[in-house]
């Protein structure tokens, strides 16, 4: 059975059981501080499990792209070494939100596997939670056990401990026991030797878990205790690639048709064969896996970068490059070439991949090139470290520095060291790494109390499109603590005019006021699991009263000007540059806006001017806002509305239209473009290969900008004695300056000549060597010239000069080349030793070297000591 068909059968089966089939949500999460990527099928439905939102239907099924490379679920280091863990994989799932529970979940899972897919019952095992005698004191899941008994012999039902069979969403929140389904796909021979039962959950590559059925029936509170959930839920997840392995009768996920086309392509590009050498195989698996993770992340709008989710993606790609570099001898970019094959295989099911193929290739290629350069540099540095080391063990701190500062991976360092017969102090390395991680963790750790619920059954309503003020009730609040912000409160209202950060637009600020006029400031607003959360430093005293709240109107209006301008800019870019322009990120603040987009070259001055003019023409055109709060998504797209890859949209969307510009957008906007007054681009730059960034300002900020420029202009004009043509006056001044510089240079040269002839007279002969040690009034390059000129005229010269340049001491030594060997004089050694007098150090070559130091008072002592070298 082909993978495509396997996926379809799953979805059709649950559609037949009255499930709503939904597409995979984007993999990169934007509104969840606890999670960077979707790491299991349930992540996009968290708000339903928490009861913060209503699902469209209480039965849903899907295939969800998951990424397990950070945080609680991190399989990255396994990937490549085993045959059934991936970074990116598809999780097939069926969900019940307060609808069916264990009975149906178990019966349907069994029906699907054994009847629809026809898996032999004799290769299946199931596990049931055995209970726990810890603080939770949970009973064994007898209910699940009895249900399984109907389908499978009891000796195939195994008891599982809390680690494997009790599933928790995070430190807090819904949780419950689970039942896993395992397959044993070993040969009959193997099975006869070792009982499959003993291999379940033992990391055996052919006895693996394929499906996990989670029965959510508890809620974990902040004080760690459990309470029963009022509504019980089902959350299941089946690994698609593992299922394909079973149904296609192969022994490894990598031998399924999900991976074989990519592996064949890697073989063709690298001239290596899969299945002959374990090291090569690992590398091929790593690369075939990682290219999927990276390509899908970029398609979902997450580019590799230096922090956060972007950094995780960068590290995955670098891991792939490293394996190619080390085990497949690929010293030039090649991973980007696999995107074509990947797209042929998956572009149909995932249109975001197809649409952005060119961009994905460009970004990957550029990342590969830059990391290969890093590797080259690292090799040189490592070589230096090896040469400089007195022992065969390199310091762990040095290896850490290579990794941390230069991005050179420690496993590669290790490999190279071992090849050359060296080792490094791994204890020291680990300590340095741990110290760094601890620092990072402390800074970002956020502790939150349980919510205190003041009013139940109130669904928070956003009214901030229509009003900036309201009277509200606090429905729930909690305290959160972090190193960065200290203690803060998070408040949720029944209704709110505060816009929560999202779609690039910053969250609103403002205040809460009680009937006595006591005020608490709202410092930020964010959305989390569908709740609009207001951040304050204190809890309002009269928290149970109806309170007046107001959004900072000025900041909101400035932000709106920038948001509308962002739409006009997007439109302008597509008109001026072409339809290939796709939005790749935006930041809409009150003071400025930033817009990232795909385009392959730097914008010319003319293009920038055209874009600015285009936007300003629409501002002058006084275009009225046409807002539609609820349009079917298909219709909006058909009307030409711009949507973004990696954004999660509902069935009904909000559209914002100004003239020809239509976008799907949840942000806030001006009523008329004339509010924006003027649009000005302040910067244009590259963010990554094929991605440009424009920064711009509007309204007040433009006024400030022109005002500042004007002030600077008049100041400059003033300094130029009110010249009629200041530019010309400045050019004259520059020319004059250049002329003066030349004259000074000449004068200094003449001076050096004079100094030289004076000094020549002071040279004395000591034991056949022409010697001089003298303090001079020259800078370092002057002294150097002097040394070489003297050396050209005087044979057998040993000269040492000191100088005090603006409070810093310089010491230079010159030795005629023949003296270096004949008299064993080495300028490098000499300045290093004499440098102690000036509290400094330096070096150079045997015939010329310079030291710099902090102590000019020591120059004389250094010069006096020089003669000793001739004894
Ligand atoms: P394992 O113990 O094999 O790592 P898990 O307990 O982490 O699995 P769950 O979190 O229960 O797995 O995820 C549900 C299903 O998703 C698993 O039964 C498995 O089929 C699949 N799965 C989990 N992790 C991966 C991965 N890294 N790559 C591919 N499939 C996976
Ligand atoms: Mg796992």
Identify the pLDDT of residue 458. 63
Closest Cα to atom 31 of ligand 1: 239
Q: Which of 129-133, 232-236, 461-465, 783-787 has the lowest mean pLDDT?
A: 783-787
Q: Of 523, 548, 573, at which residue does a domain stop?
A: 548
* 719 assigned to some structural domain: no
* Mean pLDDT (the chain, rounded): 93
Q: Does 837 belong to an annotated binding site?
A: no
Find the 214 Cα to ligand 1 centroid distance in Å: 13
Find the 56 Cα to ligand 2 centroid distance in Å: 30
* 276 assigned to some structural domain: no
DSSP letters, 628-652, are EEEEEHHHHHHTT-B--TT----SE
Find the 246 Cα to ligand 1 centroid distance in Å: 15
* 768 assigned to some structural domain: yes
Is residue 599 within 8 Å of residue 690, measured between CB atoms?
Answer: yes
* pLDDT tens-digit series, residues 59-103: 999 999 999 998 888 999 889 999 999 999 999 999 999 999 999
Find the 239 Cα to ligand 1 centroid distance in Å: 6
Q: Is 567 in the pocket of ligand 1 (CB under 6 A)?
A: no
Interval 717-740 mean pLDDT: 92
* 382 assigned to some structural domain: no
* pLDDT tens-digit series, residues 667-684: 999 999 999 999 999 999
Rounded-to-integer distance, Cα 791 and Cα 51, Å: 86
| Mutual angle of helices 278-299 and 308-327, in 10-degree steps | 150
Is residue 59 within 8 Å of residue 95, measured between CB atoms?
Answer: yes
Interval 335-349 mean pLDDT: 93
Q: Is 80 in the pocket of ligand 1 (CB under 6 A)?
A: no
Does 289 have pLDDT greater than 70? yes
Q: What is the CATH number of the domain that holds 476?
A: 2.40.30.130
Which of 90, 129, 212 gets mutated to test ligand 1 (max ligand atoms within 8 A of its CB)?
212
* 521 assigned to some structural domain: yes
The length of the chain in residues reads 871
Identify the pLDDT of residue 342. 96
* 289 assigned to some structural domain: no
Q: What is the CATH number of the domain that holds 627?
A: 3.30.980.10
Closest Cα to atom 5 of ligand 1: 209
Find the 86 Cα to ligand 1 centroid distance in Å: 9
The CA-atom distances, in angstroms, between 332 and each of 231, 348, 373 are 56, 30, 10
Q: Which of 150-164, 223-237, 406-420 has the lowest mean pLDDT?
A: 406-420
Per the listing, tokens 């520059």 go with: 734
Rounded-to-integer distance, Cα 214 and Cα 201, Å: 17
Q: Is 39 in the pocket of ligand 1 (CB under 6 A)?
A: no
Identify the pLDDT of residue 561. 98
Rounded-to-integer distance, Cα 174 and Cα 179, Å: 16
| Neighbouring C-alpha atoms within 13 Å toward the C-beta of 181 | 31
Closest Cα to atom 25 of ligand 1: 85
* 743 assigned to some structural domain: no
Q: Is 210 in the pocket of ligand 1 (CB under 6 A)?
A: yes
Is residue 296 within 8 Å of residue 38, measured between CB atoms?
Answer: no
| Mutual angle of helices 357-388 and 396-406, in 10-degree steps | 150
Sign of torsion over alpha carbons 569, 570, 576, 581: positive
* 307 assigned to some structural domain: no
Q: Of 402, 422, 442, at which residue does a domain stop?
A: 442
Identify the pLDDT of residue 164. 92
Tell me: do 564 and 618 sit in the same domain.
yes
Tell me: do 94 and 229 sit in the same domain.
yes
Tell me: do 660 and 766 sit in the same domain.
no
Nearest ligand to the CA atom of 242: 1
Rounded-to-integer distance, Cα 679 and Cα 333, Å: 41
Nearest ligand to the CA atom of 208: 1
Tell me: do 459 and 432 sit in the same domain.
no
How many H helices and E strands in the chain?
Answer: 25, 38
Identify the pLDDT of residue 463. 96
Does 418 have pLDDT greater than 90? no
Q: Is 63 in the pocket of ligand 1 (CB under 6 A)?
A: no
Interval 425-429 mean pLDDT: 92
Residues with Cβ within 8 Å of 409's Cβ and at least 6 positions away in sequence, in order, are 318, 322, 403
Nearest ligand to the CA atom of 69: 1
Q: Is 646 in the pocket of ligand 1 (CB under 6 A)?
A: no
* pLDDT tens-digit series, residues 9-30: 999 999 999 999 999 999 988 7
Tell me: do 24 and 134 sit in the same domain.
yes
Nearest ligand to the CA atom of 78: 1
Alpha helices in 169-277 (DSSP H): 188-193, 240-247, 260-270
**Torsion on CA atoms 541, 543, 545, 551, rounded to nearest 10:** 90
Find the 129 Cα to ligand 2 centroid distance in Å: 17
Phi, psi dihedral angles at 533 (to 5 degrees) = -110, 130
Find the 39 Cα to ligand 1 centroid distance in Å: 10
Phi, psi dihedral angles at 329 (to 5 degrees) = 55, 35
Tell me: do 33 and 152 sit in the same domain.
yes
* pLDDT tens-digit series, residues 265-281: 999 999 999 999 999 99
Does 445 have pLDDT greater than 90? no
The CA-atom distances, in angstroms, between 606 and each of 158, 602, 610, 611 are 71, 11, 6, 9
Phi, psi dihedral angles at 542 (to 5 degrees) = -95, 60
Which of 129, 209, 252 gets mutated to test ligand 1 (max ligand atoms within 8 A of its CB)?
209
Tell me: do 636 and 669 sit in the same domain.
yes
Identify the pLDDT of residue 457. 62
Q: Residue 779 is part of which domain span?
A: 761-870
Find the 4 Cα to ligand 2 centroid distance in Å: 24
Find the 473 Cα to ligand 1 centroid distance in Å: 43
Task: Answer with the residue of higher pLDDT: 411 or 659.
Answer: 659
Q: Is 237 in the pocket of ligand 1 (CB under 6 A)?
A: yes
Q: Does 85 belong to an annotated binding site?
A: no
Interval 491-503 mean pLDDT: 95
Which DSSP letter does residue 82 get? Answer: B
Closest Cα to atom 14 of ligand 1: 237
* Tokens representing residue 592 in the block: 């400025």
Find the 245 Cα to ligand 1 centroid distance in Å: 14
Q: Is 40 in the pocket of ligand 1 (CB under 6 A)?
A: yes
Q: Which of 399-413, 674-688, 715-729 has the lowest mean pLDDT?
A: 399-413
Q: Is 259 in the pocket of ligand 1 (CB under 6 A)?
A: no
Tell me: do 422 and 470 sit in the same domain.
no
Tell me: do 588 and 480 sit in the same domain.
no
At 411, the pLDDT band (50, 70, 90 cuts) reads: confident
Tell me: do 24 and 153 sit in the same domain.
yes
Tell me: do 475 and 435 sit in the same domain.
no
Closest Cα to atom 22 of ligand 1: 239
Burial environment of residue 431 by CB neighbours within 10 A (0 to 12, 13 to 18, 19 or more): middle
Find the 154 Cα to ligand 1 centroid distance in Å: 24
Q: Does 787 belong to an annotated binding site?
A: no
Q: Does 599 belong to an annotated binding site?
A: no
From the CA of 78, give the closest atom in ligand 1: 27
* pLDDT tens-digit series, residues 749-776: 888 788 888 899 999 999 889 999 999 9
Which DSSP letter does residue 253 get? Answer: G
* Tally of domains within the chain: 5
pTM attached to this predicted model: 0.77
From the CA of 210, give the closest atom in ligand 1: 20
Q: What is the CATH number of the domain that holds 225?
A: 3.30.930.10
Interval 311-323 mean pLDDT: 92
Burial environment of residue 293 by CB neighbours within 10 A (0 to 12, 13 to 18, 19 or more): buried
At 595, the pLDDT band (50, 70, 90 cuts) reads: very high
Q: Of 678, 706, 734, at which residue does a domain stop?
A: 706
Tell me: do 438 and 454 sit in the same domain.
no
Q: Is 85 in the pocket of ligand 1 (CB under 6 A)?
A: yes
Q: What is the CATH number of the domain that holds 800?
A: 3.10.310.40
Q: Is 182 in the pocket of ligand 1 (CB under 6 A)?
A: no
* pLDDT tens-digit series, residues 176-209: 999 999 999 999 999 999 999 999 999 999 999 9
């Amino acid at each position: 059975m082909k993978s495509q068909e396997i996926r379809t059968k799953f979805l059709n089966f649950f559609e037949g059981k009255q499930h709503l089939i939904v597409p995979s949500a984007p993999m990169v999460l934007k509104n969840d501080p606890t999670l960077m990527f979707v790491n299991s099928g349930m992540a996009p439905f968290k708000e339903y499990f928490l009861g913060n939102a209503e699902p469209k239907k209480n039965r849903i099924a899907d295939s969800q792209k998951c990424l397990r490379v950070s945080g609680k679920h991190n399989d990255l280091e396994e990937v490549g070494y085993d045959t059934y863990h991936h970074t990116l994989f598809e999780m097939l799932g069926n969900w019940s939100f307060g609808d069916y529970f264990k009975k149906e979940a178990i019966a349907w899972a069994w029906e699907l596997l054994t009847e629809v897919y026809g898996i032999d019952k004799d290769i299946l095992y199931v596990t049931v939670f055995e209970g726990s005698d810890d603080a939770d004191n949970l009973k064994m899941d007898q209910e699940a056990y009895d249900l399984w008994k109907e389908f499978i012999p009891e000796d195939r039902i195994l008891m599982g401990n809390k680690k494997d069979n009790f599933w928790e969403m995070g430190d807090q929140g819904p949780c419950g026991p689970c039942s896993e389904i395992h397959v044993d796909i070993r040969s009959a021979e193997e099975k006869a030797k070792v009982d499959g039962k003993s291999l379940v959950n033992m990391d055996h590559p052919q006895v693996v878990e394929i499906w996990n059925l989670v029965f959510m029936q508890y809620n974990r509170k902040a004080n760690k205790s459990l309470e029963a959930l009022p509504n019980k839920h089902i959350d299941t997840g089946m690994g698609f690639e593992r299922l394909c392995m079973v149904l296609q009768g192969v022994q490894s996920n990598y031998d399924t048709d999900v991976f074989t086309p990519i592996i064949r392509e890697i073989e063709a590009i690298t001239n290596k064969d899969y299945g002959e050498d374990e090291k090569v195989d690992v590398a091929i698996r790593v690369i075939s896996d990682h290219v999927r993770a990276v390509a899908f992340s970029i398609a979902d709008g997450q580019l590799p970068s230096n922090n956060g989710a972007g950094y995780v993606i960068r590290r995955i790609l670098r891991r792939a490059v490293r394996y190619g570099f080390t085990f497949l001898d690929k010293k030039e970019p090649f991973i980007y070439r696999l995107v074509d094959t990947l797209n042929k295989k998956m572009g149909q099911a995932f249109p975001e991949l197809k649409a952005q193929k060119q961009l994905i290739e460009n970004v990957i290629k550029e990342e590969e090139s830059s990391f290969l350069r890093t590797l080259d540099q690292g090799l040189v540095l490592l070589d230096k470290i090896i040469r400089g080391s007195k022992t065969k063990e390199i310091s762990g701190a040095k290896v850490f520095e290579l990794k941390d500062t230069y991005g050179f991976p420690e496993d590669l360092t290790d490999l190279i060291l071992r090849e050359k017969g060296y080792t490094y102090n791994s204890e020291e390395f680990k300590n340095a790494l741990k110290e760094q991680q601890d620092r990072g963790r402390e800074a970002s750790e956020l502790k939150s109390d349980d919510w205190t619920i003041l009013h139940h059954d109130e669904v928070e309503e956003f009214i901030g499109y229509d009003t900036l003020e309201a009277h509200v009730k606090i429905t729930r609040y909690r305290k959160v603590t972090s190193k960065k912000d200290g203690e803060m409160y998070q408040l949720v209202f029944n209704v709110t005019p505060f816009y929560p950060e999202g779609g690039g637009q910053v969250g609103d600020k403002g205040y809460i006021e009680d009937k006595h006029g006591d005020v608490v400031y709202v410092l930020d607003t964010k959305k989390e699991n569908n709740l609009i959360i207001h951040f304050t430093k204190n809890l309002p005293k009269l928290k149970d009263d109806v309170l007046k709240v107001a959004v900072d109107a000025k900041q909101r209006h400035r932000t709106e000007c920038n948001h509308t301008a962002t739409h006009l800019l997007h439109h302008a870019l597509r008109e001026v540059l072409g339809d290939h322009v796709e939005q790749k990120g935006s930041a809409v603040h009150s003071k400025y806006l930033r817009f990232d987009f795909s385009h392959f070259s730097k914008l010319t001055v003319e293009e920038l001017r055209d874009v600015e003019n285009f936007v300003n023409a629409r501002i002058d055109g006084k275009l009225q806002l046409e807002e539609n709060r609820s349009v079917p998504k298909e219709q909006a797209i058909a009307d030409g509305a711009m949507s973004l890859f990696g954004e999660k949209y509902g069935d009904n969307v909000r559209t914002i239209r100004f003239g020809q510009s239509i976008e799907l957008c949840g942000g806030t906007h001006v009523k008329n473009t004339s509010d924006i007054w003027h649009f000005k681009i302040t910067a244009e730059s590259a963010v990554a290969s094929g991605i440009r960034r424009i920064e711009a300002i509007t309204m007040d900020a433009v006024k400030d900008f022109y005002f500042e420029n004007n002030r600077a202009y008049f100041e400059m004009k003033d300094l130029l004695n009110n010249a009629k043509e200041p530019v010309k006056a400045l050019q004259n001044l520059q020319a004059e300056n250049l002329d003066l510089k030349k004259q000074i240079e000449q004068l200094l040269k003449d001076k050096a000549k004079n100094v030289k002839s004076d000094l020549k007279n002071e040279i004395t002969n000591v034991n056949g060597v022409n010697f001089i040690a003298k303090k001079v009034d020259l800078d370092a390059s002057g002294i150097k010239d002097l040394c070489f000129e003297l050396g050209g005229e005087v044979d057998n010269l040993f000269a040492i000069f000191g100088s005090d340049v603006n409070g810093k001491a310089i010491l230079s030594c010159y030795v005629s080349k023949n003296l270096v060997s004949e008299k064993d004089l080495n300028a490098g050694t000499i300045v290093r030793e004499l440098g102690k007098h000036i509290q400094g150090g330096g070096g150079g070559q045997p015939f010329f070297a310079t030291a710099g130091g902090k102590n000019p008072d020591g120059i004389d002592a250094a010069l006096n000591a020089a003669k000793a070298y001739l004894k």
